Amino acid sequence: MSKAAPSVPDTPQPEDASIEDRLYTVKYKDSGESHLGIEVPGICAETCTTYECTNVCPADVWRAEEGGVPTIAYENCLECGSCRFACPHGNVEWEYPTTGNGVSYKHG
């Protein structure tokens, strides 16, 4: 009698996986304080018209809010750096999370 094969968890195939599936494979360790911020909130509220930070982020960290100053769900940050360079006003404060915190990838 042959033994049953061990079960292997499903890994989403890149060509089939939704953004949500892919984000599910990422693990975050919350440092408890944001490594992202806004230099001058008034620039977001009164000057910015494009909200590139909310458009460019692949993890939906930056969210547009009434009043014009985005909220930042820093715990989901993938540390790609895009928001830092996309802001046309240089208004994004950006640091890596403190050592041992932040994102880690389960597959490579």
Q: Where on the chain is the footprint of ligand SF4 (CB under 6 A)?
A: 36, 38, 43-44, 48, 51-53, 56-59, 61, 70, 77-83, 87, 89, 91-92
Secondary structure, 3-state, the chain: CCCCCCCCCCCCCCCCCCHHHHHHCEEEECCCCCCEEECCHHHHHHHCCCCHHHHHCCCCCEECCCCCCCEECHHHCCCCCHHHHHCCCCCEEECCCCCCCEEEECCC
CB of 10 to ligand SF4, least distance (A): 25
CB of 16 to ligand SF4, least distance (A): 23
Min separation Cβ 65 and ligand SF4, Å: 10
